[in-house]
Amino acid sequence: MRVVDEAIEEHLGDAVVVESVQPGYGAEAAGLRSLDHDDRNRPIADVITSVAGQRVTKIDQIWEIMGEHKAGDVVPVEVLRDGQTMHFDIKLKDVN
């Protein structure tokens, strides 16, 4: 995840766009989507606005918040998708 595509960044300002979702991890299981483009090559993306109730604008903030949790914890994530706010519960997995 990182800020991508100038069109998205210009529209949202500082935001964390989900560039890719790793198969088999909590974000995929929860339903987050990877960055894609429509038939006119416009970006379609999930944009993370908060993690565990804390507003985020940078990927480092997400990693810091996630680092406060352990494998098995469920972390609420708020996402802007297609102009609507959506809520996802992401169950963290052990990455080791």
37-60 pLDDT tens trace: 889 888 888 999 999 999 998 889
Phi and psi (nearest 5°) for 6? -60, -35
What pTM, to 2 d.p., does this model score? Answer: 0.80
Domains of the chain from N-terminus onward: 6-91 (2.30.42.10)
Residue 89 CB partners (closer than 8 Å, separation 6+)? 30, 74, 75, 76, 77
What residues pair up with 48 in beta bridges, in sequence order?
A: 16, 79
pLDDT (0 to 100) of residue 12: 56
Sign of CA dihedral 4, 7, 8, 10: positive
pLDDT in tens, 1-34: 344 444 455 545 567 889 899 898 899 999 999 9
Alpha-carbon dihedral of residues 34, 10, 6, 78, nearest 10 degrees? Answer: -20
Give the whole-angstrom CA distance, residue 47 versus residue 78: 8
